[in-house]
């Protein structure tokens, strides 16, 4: 299996991306192709004396910045690492694409150059979050900020198939993000989606609330990209604030620090809970090809984990199952 | 000053509400009026041997449950503690009303029975959240799930006035919740609001993101009630999950527990960050009367703090300033 990684994408690329690729190449039975500026990437790779043989470079002379306008930049920078990586996927030189770069640019490039799965009208970003009772996949967290009810229906069908066939959950529980549990709650747009999900032939468990995103009560929660994006960033922001508060407190006294060291098992569990970005990448569901979006601030470990998500998606032939789920949709 | 508290509202009412009222009565120069079923409330009060003289009961024979349909229940249960409390406010028997009960019922009762401030079309719930660099007020978190841009403009004007005159911030920075910083981002509805806020004669600092809710970079962040509600509950859910993870870890070994005790200053700071519900109530801005909404799961301390928010709002004559801000709005 071949996975192409956008070596130039991310807040600390290419250092972190190359480090993550090297770790992934050692742990997984995959060939990693680094899309990026050859001399720059080569210099990073040269730092590894025991450089793995299953890492190669695919030259891309341009880089799209994290804040560049997505559609304009992928049109203008034809030879950007994102375009070159997506092209490798389209030309079947690779089985999956991973990027921690400009999310909007990745979504646009994938949509325009790979096309969508049959029957899918819009792609959605599906992020997996840890919860007390298990993981929850939230879809969409920002690809589609103005969706129609039918788009949310397609997210539910694809999320269900992904949870079932890639995450290997036997009967995924699907929820619809709303402001209350009752069917009558929420704006018209959400009530209409509720009706569609009820008749979608999936295990639809009704409305979920913001509090369910970390409760683990649902395997998949469907929402519009605007709300999903805000919820995700709110959670990140709170997690960051909590980490900062703890860090500052550590600085206070040697006793406090000793205490923190003694109770490190608690802190390790805590860090695992709040560093969900480390868990890996978010699949862009609905495009014709395995595309994984990683957080811009990904560490090497997070990049490695995103590559693992790509590996699992490709290994389980995710898109065949997603297309099948959307195609075989018949309202009950 | 007289503050009427919905003694029957909240997950653990009337135990917790009465306990909070007693604490508030001891600490603040206010008379607390407990709206609720007299024998039930009297029984709770009787538990305090040193019962303060500035606590009284206003009989209300009915109670609206936390999950009852808001509008129908306030119409049907004329003598509910929410209706009786709001009526006391309307009849000028009280200066403020506080409830940890059914939020929708409080919003409906206040809107229908108190009316709105001149020029205000919809009320909004404004919650204050702690951040690394200071507090941020998020408005609206659920009163209005389908607002028009002009409603968000009114939230911005009222939030600005509240921050300035009640929270005593000299020049509040206002942000608009969106999925990116650039003016061109987001759905049409948000872009239109952006234009209105630019011309509102306030210190509008542009788009804020979900991550800014806990950054403290903005004094007031304006959003629609659907998104605000989801963001708030997401944060609560993550905070809860983190507390649970820590609790479970404490159970693991005496060494871990000793460590946690030694580093308790860190944990106290952490608890302060994540227990923002303890900070008190959320003013319902836009109704003609001081109405404070507390979390359904409020502790006695949280109830006391919500009463303090009511006290501060009434003391600073919040609604006069809010009405003035909306009335004197002139696009620049």
Residues of A in contact with B236 (CB under 8 A): 210-211
- Residue A33: pLDDT band by 50, 70, 90 thresholds? very high
pLDDT at A131 over 80: no
Res B81: pLDDT: 98
How many domains does chain A contain in total? 2
List of residues 6+ apart from B294 with CB closer than 8 A: B10, B98, B99, B100, B280, B281, B282, B302, B303, B306
> Beta-carbon neighbour count of residue A47 at 10 Å?
11
User: Is any Cβ of chain A less than 8 angstroms from the Cβ of B330?
Assistant: no
- Selecting from B226, B239, B266 the residue whose C-beta is nearest the C-beta of A256 gives B266
* Token pair recorded at residue B260: 């946690």
- Tell me: do A133 and A209 sit in the same domain: yes
Residues of A in contact with B231 (CB under 8 A): 210, 230-231, 234
pLDDT (tens digit, 9 = 90+) per residue, B229-275?
Answer: 999 988 888 877 777 776 766 566 777 767 666 666 666 666 665 56
Tell me the CATH number at A50.
3.40.718.10
Closest Cα in chain A to B232: A210
Residue B275 lies in a domain: no
> Beta-carbon neighbour count of residue A116 at 10 Å?
17
Distance from CA of B269 to the nearest CA of A (A): 7
- Tell me: do B21 and B102 sit in the same domain: yes
Name the percent of chain A lying above pLDDT 70: 90
pLDDT at A279 over 90: no
- Tell me: do B98 and B132 sit in the same domain: no
Q: Nearest-CA neighbor of B306 among B128, B146, B133, B176?
A: B128
- Determine the residue among A68, A232, A235 to mutate to test chain B binding: the one whose Cβ has the most chain B Cβ atoms within 10 Å: A235
- Tell me: do A90 and A197 sit in the same domain: no
State the sign of the Cα–Cα–Cα–Cα dihedral A179, A180, A181, A186: negative
The verdict on a CB contact (< 8 Å) between B229 and A177 is: no
- Tell me: do B161 and B110 sit in the same domain: no
The verdict on a CB contact (< 8 Å) between B227 and A226 is: yes
Query: Domain limits at B37?
Result: 2-120+286-317
- Tell me: do A40 and A136 sit in the same domain: no
Residue A332 lies in a domain: no
pLDDT at B276 over 60: no
- Selecting from A186, A211, A229 the residue whose C-beta is nearest the C-beta of B233 gives A211
- Selecting from B236, B241, B249 the residue whose C-beta is nearest the C-beta of A266 gives B249
- Residue A184: pLDDT band by 50, 70, 90 thresholds? confident
- Tell me: do A177 and A274 sit in the same domain: yes
- Tell me: do A109 and A182 sit in the same domain: no
Residues of B in contact with A235 (CB under 8 A): 210, 234-235, 238
Res A332: pLDDT: 64
List of residues 6+ apart from A269 with CB closer than 8 A: B245, B246, B248, B249
- Which residues numbered 191-220 in B keep a CB inside 8 Å of some CB on A? 209-215
CB A291 within 8 A of CB A300: no
- Tell me: do A177 and A310 sit in the same domain: no
Stated pTM of the model? 0.90
| Rounded mean pLDDT, B269-296 | 82
> Beta-carbon neighbour count of residue A210 at 10 Å?
29
- Tell me: do A86 and A129 sit in the same domain: no
User: Is any Cβ of chain B less than 8 angstroms from the Cβ of A84?
Assistant: no
| Rounded mean pLDDT, A142-158 | 96
Residues of B in contact with A207 (CB under 8 A): none
Distance from CA of B306 to the nearest CA of A (A): 22
Report the b/e string of A6-28 with b at 16+ CB within 10 A.
Answer: bbbbbeebbebbbbbbbbbbeeb
Name the percent of chain B lying above pLDDT 90: 77
pLDDT (tens digit, 9 = 90+) per residue, B96-122?
Answer: 999 999 999 999 999 999 999 999 999
Residue B212 lies in a domain: yes
User: Is any Cβ of chain B less than 8 angstroms from the Cβ of A171?
Assistant: no
- Tell me: do A216 and A234 sit in the same domain: yes
What is the interface pTM, i.e. ipTM, of the complex? 0.86
């Amino acid at each position: 299996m071949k996975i192409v990684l956008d070596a130039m994408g991310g807040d600390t690329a290419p250092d972190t991306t190359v480090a993550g690729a090297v770790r992934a190449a050692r742990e997984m039975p995959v060939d990693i192709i680094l899309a990026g500026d050859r001399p720059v990437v080569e210099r990073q790779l040269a730092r590894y004396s025991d450089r793995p043989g299953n890492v190669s470079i695919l030259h891309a002379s341009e880089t799209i910045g994290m804040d560049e306008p997505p559609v304009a930049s992928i049109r203008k920078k034809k030879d950007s690492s994102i375009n070159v990586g997506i092209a490798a996927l389209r030309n079947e030189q690779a089985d999956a694409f991973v990027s921690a770069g400009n999310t909007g640019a990745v979504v646009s490039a994938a949509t325009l150059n790979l096309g969508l799965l049959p029957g899918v009208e819009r792609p959605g970003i599906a992020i997996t979050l840890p919860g007390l009772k298990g993981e929850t996949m939230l879809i969409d967290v920002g690809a589609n900020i103005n969706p129609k009810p039918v788009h949310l229906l397609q997210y539910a069908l694809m999320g269900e198939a992904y949870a079932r066939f890639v995450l290997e959950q036997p009967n995924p529980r699907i929820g619809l993000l709303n402001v209350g549990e009752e069917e009558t709650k929420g704006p018209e747009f959400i009530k209409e989606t509720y009706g569609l999900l009820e008749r979608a032939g999936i295990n639809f468990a009704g409305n979920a609330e913001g509090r369910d995103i970390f409760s683990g009560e649902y395997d998949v929660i469907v929402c519009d990209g605007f709300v999903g994006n805000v919820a995700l960033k709110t959670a990140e922001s709170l997690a960051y604030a909590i980490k900062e508060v703890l860090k500052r407190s550590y600085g206070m006294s040697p006793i406090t620090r000793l205490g923190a060291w003694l109770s490190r098992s608690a802190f390790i569990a805590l860090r695992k809970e709040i560093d969900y970005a480390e868990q890996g990448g978010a699949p862009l569901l609905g495009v014709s090809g395995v595309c994984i979006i990683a957080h811009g601030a990904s560490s090497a470990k997070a990049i490695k984990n995103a590559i693992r998500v790509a590996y699992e998606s490709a290994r389980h032939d995710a898109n065949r199952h997603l297309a099948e789920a959307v195609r075989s949709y018949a309202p009950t």
